[in-house]
Amino acid sequence: MIWTWIFIAGIITFLTRYSMIALIKPNTLNETTKKALTYVPSAVFPAIIFPAVFLDKQGDFIYILSPQILAFFVAVIVGYLSKNVIFTIASGLISFWIFSYVLH
């Protein structure tokens, strides 16, 4: 069954890319829609980030001084200052390993 869903997800992704190019008259999006679409990453990705950092598998808040919360804040600071994708992910992962080791 998973194969069916992969293909449907693929077709939908393709249609998001193809729809506007297929139109005969280009640029039919109004300004509000355009603006809203530029917000999509900022609206979607935090909903994946926050639960993965602050909640356990059951959906309960984890202890504030847990390695993953501390490491996430390191990544936020590094990311904000450096604006560098690699530094951000690496600093988060490495500090996660260090905090996990120190706090256990």
Structure tokens at 46: 């935090």
Among 5, 63, 64, 65, interactor with another protein by CB under 8 A: 5
Site string for another protein, 37-76 (x = CB under 8 A): xxxxxxxxxxxxxxxxxxx---x-x------x--xx--xx
9 near another protein (CB under 8 A) = yes
Site string for another protein, 15-34 (x = CB under 8 A): -xxxxxxxxx-xxxx--x-x
Contacts of 63 (CB under 8 A, 6+ apart): 69
Q: CA-to-CA distance for 10 and 20, rounded, in angstroms?
A: 17
Contacts of 71 (CB under 8 A, 6+ apart): 92, 93, 95, 96, 99
Q: Is the dihedral of CA 91, 92, 94, 100 positive or negative?
A: positive
Beta carbons of 62 and 68 less than 8 angstroms apart: yes
Q: Quote the least distance from Cβ 66 to another protein, whole Å.
A: 11
Among 79, 101, 102, 104, interactor with another protein by CB under 8 A: 79
Can you give the binding site for another protein, defined by CB under 8 A? 1-3, 5-10, 12-14, 16-24, 26-29, 32, 34-55, 59, 61, 68, 71-72, 75-76, 79-80, 83-86, 88-89, 92-93, 96-97, 100
